[in-house]
A and B are shown apart, each in its own frame.
Chain A
Amino acid sequence: MLAYALRRLLSTIPVMAIVALLVFSLLYLTPGDPAVVLAGEQASETDIARLRTAMALDKPYAERFLIWVGGAVRGDLGVSVFSNRPVIELIVQRLEPTVALTLGSLLIAIVLAVPLGTLAAWRSGGALDRIVMGFAVFGFSIPVFVLGYLLIILFSVHWDLLPVQGYRPIAYGVGPFLEHLALPALSLGIVNAALIARITRASMLDVLNQDYMRTARAKGLSTSRILIRHGLRNAAVPIVTIIGIGFAMLISGVVVTETVFNIPGLGRLTVDAILRRDYPVIQGVILVFSLTYVVVNLLVDLSYGLFDPRIRY
């Protein structure tokens, strides 16, 4: 197990190297002088020259890439063109809201989707199944920002139950923190739940047809025990896999949700950086998000052994 984990960890290095190369090269794929592109339309000649030296744009491509990667490995992602502050500092500052939103919506998605998908498979073809599958198709089609506005209009404007927008750090108290997190996490959670519910249902349908399920029923086990201990555990691998794959969608969703709900997280940082063409920040944020995605999928891979002891490494 440990050897496998180590091997898998090592295998992520080439992927990350390619991601780094892609993210770094984006700037040079575009036509024109990168210094001119970065400095923007109103920049003067001196601004451009200053930027060129500051970002080492006068050095050869390979050398620049090595400088950037060398820095990134040590946690130095360069300096923001706009605010002149280290990119890593900006990222760390904005981390808490984004982590809270991601974990919150993931929790809501799993708590909603897994039981619903299981029940849909158990009563497949019935009314409950149709409702759940209908919810899944709609949830998959409604953009997260449209859903976000619908929820704000209902819960905040119409019923006045929750704050409209904004974010309160957990340090200011758990109550306000949860109040502000509820709607954004719910919007993003519902969209993600649609995907997970579909896979849960499909995976459970496969498992429910197995002989050992009939045996479990014949032994007189309770329905909940059959579904959870015998069913869900055997259906877990595809479910965990889709949670990992869906994480990419979740990251994209975070960027949008933070805009809808005015949450000062990494998503807002990205959007602001784009509007200001602050390329070091864009590079840094994309690298951090991609690294997270790769690590999450590494953990998903490693978790297979927990759910299915037949999978040995």
Chain B
Amino acid sequence: MSAPIAVSAIAPEKSLLRDSARDHPGLFAGAVLLLLVIVAALAAPWLGTVDPQAIAVLDRLETPGREYWFGADLIGRDVYSRTLYGARVSLQVGLGVAALALSIGLLIGLISGFSKAADTVLMRVMDGLMSIPSVLLAVALIALTGASLGNVIIALAIAEVPRVARLVRSVVVSLRGQPFVEAAITAGTRFHLILWRHILPNTIAPLLVQGTYIFASAVLTESILSFIGAGTPPAIPSWGNIIAEGRTVFQFAPHIVLFPGIALSLTVLAVNLVGDGLRDALDPRFVQRG
């Protein structure tokens, strides 16, 4: 283990991505599926959708057919349009939570890894946070701060921070004892340079993998929160909200629950596949095993 490790953690990625379809079918399938969801979210207005909020009471609970591809909901809104627009909410939440949790967790993990005094306090707080089931923690935060997309993202990020902080801390602690870091310290390299050149590059790969899992779990948890009525405001067509609205009539109009449910499952599946694939591709042990 010498300085080049910082490079080797990133360099193989390019060649692996090129051959990914052959070497990493899971990663490839996940990436394609995720790309489809992203395209659907971005291009939602041009994919044969109508206004997702447009009400047509006469068409309420219409079954899937030529006019309503995924059927209509309780007040005659088009479930297909709502499902496509719902992808926007889920992707925003996934990205927002991952970015926020990774940055706060990175900061706490770095402090914890370098300062013994801060470590004891921070890690005990993280232990405590981890003992509170994430859905309940998020629910309590949202119940108090009020339901908005921003608050959902903050609440879910807080629940994910401990795992990131612990991961970063373990990377820092194991690197601190490595000869190349000790050599840099002996050579009088300034702290911020050690951090920038030797520590941070080595956190990228594990954080990338962790980020995808956070993304998947945030999408899932957001839908759970919306479903139980403590998440994204009901006016926004998120998948959890659409399913919650279809809850009372699912026995004779299952399409309202089914289509957003399938979209939700496929999105989480795609992100999980990408996460598993990245983990295998970026972990040198897995590469050697072939």
**A interface residues, Cβ below 8 angstroms from B:** 14-16, 18-19, 21-23, 26-27, 29-31, 37, 137-138, 140-143, 145-146, 149-150, 152-153, 157, 164, 248-249, 251-252, 255-256, 259-260, 270-271, 274-275, 277, 279, 282-283, 285-286, 289-290, 293-294
> Would you give 6 A-B contacts (Cβ < 8 Å), ordered by A?
A138-B265, A141-B268, A252-B135, A271-B230, A274-B229, A290-B131
CB distance from B30 to the nearest CB of A (A): 10
A141–B124 touching, CB < 8 Å: no
CB distance from B209 to the nearest CB of A (A): 15
From known contacts A137-B269, A149-B261, infer whether A15 and B128 are also in contact, taking CB-CB under 8 Å. yes
Q: How far is the CA of A125 from the CA of B283 in the complex (A)?
A: 20
B265–A18 touching, CB < 8 Å: no
Which segment of B93-101, B141-149, B183-191 sits at the interface? B141-149
Q: Which of B106-149 contact A (CB under 8 A)?
A: 124-125, 127-137, 139-145
Q: How far is the CA of A145 from the CA of B131 in the complex (A)?
A: 23
Q: How many residues of B contact A (CB 8 A)?
A: 46
Contact of B273 among A137, A149, A248, A283 (CB under 8 A): A137
User: How many contacting A-B pairs (Cβ < 8 A)?
Assistant: 142
CB distance from A96 to the nearest CB of B (A): 20
A23–B140 touching, CB < 8 Å: yes
A286–B137 touching, CB < 8 Å: yes
Specify which chain A residues have a CB less than 8 angstroms from the CB of B266 in the assembled complex. 141
Q: Is the interface of A mostly helix, strand, loop or mixed?
A: helix
Q: How far is the CA of A95 from the CA of B182 in the complex (A)?
A: 55
**B interface residues, Cβ below 8 angstroms from A:** 124-125, 127-137, 139-145, 216, 220-221, 223-224, 227-230, 243, 247, 250-251, 254, 257-258, 261-262, 264-266, 268-269, 272-273, 276
Q: How far is the CA of A16 from the CA of B124 in the complex (A)?
A: 10
Specify which chain A residues have a CB less than 8 angstroms from the CB of B129 in the assembled complex. 22
CB distance from B129 to the nearest CB of A (A): 7
A289–B136 touching, CB < 8 Å: yes
* Known A256-B224, A270-B139, A271-B230; further 10 A-B contacts with Cβ < 8 A: A30-B145, A143-B224, A143-B265, A145-B261, A153-B250, A252-B224, A255-B136, A256-B135, A282-B139, A290-B133
A282–B257 touching, CB < 8 Å: no
Select from chain B the residue with minimum beta-carbon distance to A294. B131
